[in-house]
Amino acid sequence: MWDKIIFTVILFFSDEVYQKYNDEGCNYIRENILTSDNVGSVSDVLNYWNTGYGYLHKVNMFFENIESSRVDEEFKNTMINEMKFIRAFIYFRLIRSYGGVPIIKEVYDINSDWSNVKRNTYNECVEYIISDLDDVIANLPDRPSERNRVGANAARALKSRVLLYNASALNNPDNDKERWQKASDAAKELLDKGYSLCDNYREMFFDVTNNEYIFAKEFSETYSHMLGFNLACTGDGGRGWATPSQNLVDAYETLDGEIPVLNSESGDINPKSIYNPEKPYENRDPRFYDCIYYNGSTSLNGRIVETFKDGADMIQQDMTMTGYYCRKFVNENEPVSQSHHYTTPFPFFRLAEIYLNYAEAEFQLGHEDVAREYVNKVRARKSVNMPSITDSGEALLKRIYHERQIELAFEGHRFFDLRRWKIADNTPIVGLNIIKDGEGKFSYERYVLSLDSRKNEWKDAFFVLPIHYSEIQKSNESLEQNNGY
C-alpha cells in the first residue's frame, strides 16, 4: 500500500510531473474534464472518499471498544491519542480534496441508513481536526527522536498544515487575519523544538534519523517498496514512471537567484538571469541537480544520462515523455531491480515546510521581514546556499510560493498549494526534444505534450474534487455536491 501511496504522491501531487503511461483518472484532471461520474477513476490518493471513510470506519470501531478493553490505562491513553492523530490526518486529507465533509462518529454497517448523512462545513471540520490534535499535543510526549511514531510534535506539524490551508484564499475568501495568526502560531510552536535543517539536501531523503524530519514513513526489508525501481532512468533498467516537466526545470533558479525562463511554452528567457539556452543545465540551484536527471547528468555507476534522440534514455512511449527523470528519491548506492527491497523513507513533515508555512503566514500578517528571514533560512541550507531574497510586497509572496515549489518538489504539496492559493490554471505541460549532431553538439526544442493540450477551459470548480455521484445517491441526495459538478 505505501509503495502505491508514495509513488502516487510523486505522480499526482505536482502539476509539473507528467505521468508517462495513460492513466485514465490522471487524464481527466490534466484535460480539465473531471466530473462526478468519472472521478472514481482518479487515484485514491486524491479521490480519497472511499479510502478515507473506510479507515474512519475502523477508527470509529476502535473508539467504540477501547474504553471497555482490558489494557493498561497508560497504554490505553497512548493508543487513544495516537488514533486521534490518525483520525485528524484522515479528515485533513478529505477536506483537502473535497472541502467540508460529513463528520462520522458512529459505526455504520450494511443495514445503516445513510439518508440523513450531511456534509459539515469546512470550518466545522477544521475545528474537529484541531480539537483532536490539541488533545494529542496535551497528552503525548514530543518524541523528537522517534520520526516514525506519533508524538506531540507530529501533531503540531499537522496542525500547522491544517491551519495554513484554513487561512488560504480557497477557504478564507475574506482573508480573515485571525486565521493567519493561528497558522503562524501553530508553525512557531515547532521552531524551538530542537529540529534543524539537514546540511545536505539530497542525502536527507535517504536518512530518516536526520534532524530535519519531524514525522516520516519508515520501511524495512520486510515492509519495503519499489520506488527506486519505479523512478530510475530506463537506461539504468528502471521504469522511469514519473518524469518531471520542462515547466519545473524552468522554475529552478540560476545561481544568481533569478528564475531563468519566464514562459515554458515559448521559452522566453529572463534577461536578468545568467541562463544560457545553449547550456541550459549550467549554473542552476543545487536542488535541481539533486532532484532531476537531465541530458548529460550522471546516474548509477557514473553512467551519463542520454535523453537526446536515439540516446539510451530518449523520449518515447515506454521511456521519458519530457526529456527528464526524477532523481530525488533514487538512492544510487542501491541496485535498480524489481526484486530489490527499497527502504528509502518518505517525509510527511519536515522542518523546511514549517519554515515556509511560518513565512507565508507572517507575510499575510504584514511581517515581511520575518517572512524573508525564514525563506532565506531554507535557501541558506549548506548544500544549497542560494542568494537571499530581498523582495517585498506581491513579489515577496510570489517568492514564497516559488520556494515551496522548489524545496518541496515531489513531496505531495504542489497540487494542493496551487488550489488553496487559487492560482491553478490552464498552463500546458511542456517537454524538451534534444537533438545531437555529428559533432556532439545539442539543440533543444520545446513542445507541448500531445496528451496535455488542455483544450478544455479551466473552471473554478476544479479547485476541489467532486464527490462521486454514487455517494450522492447512497445518501438519498442528502449530501450536497460541490459547485460546478
| pLDDT attached to residue 154 | 98
**Cβ(336)–Cβ(203) below 8 Å:** no
Average pLDDT, rounded, for the chain: 92
| pLDDT attached to residue 462 | 94
Q: What is the pLDDT of residues 227-239, one digit of tens each?
A: 999 999 999 999 9
Q: What is the DSSP string of 313-370?
A: T-SSTTS-SSS-EE-TT--TTS---TT--B---EEEEEHHHHHHHHHHHHHHTT-HHH
SS3 451: helix
Q: What is the pLDDT of residues 292-344, one digit of tens each?
A: 999 999 999 999 999 999 999 998 877 898 999 999 999 999 999 999 999 99
Q: What is the pLDDT of residues 167-199, one digit of tens each?
A: 999 999 999 999 999 999 999 999 999 999 999
In this prediction, residues 6-26 reach a mean pLDDT of 46
Query: Could you tell me the three cell numbers for 282?
Result: 549550467
Residue 2 binned pLDDT confidence (cut-offs 50, 70, 90): very low
**Cβ(293)–Cβ(325) below 8 Å:** yes
SS3 61: helix
Residue 110 binned pLDDT confidence (cut-offs 50, 70, 90): confident
Q: How many CA atoms lie within 13 A of 84 on its CB side?
A: 24
| pLDDT attached to residue 469 | 94
Q: What is the DSSP string of 314-329?
A: -SSTTS-SSS-EE-TT
Question: In 408-451, which residue ranges form alpha helices assigned H by DSSP?
Answer: 414-420
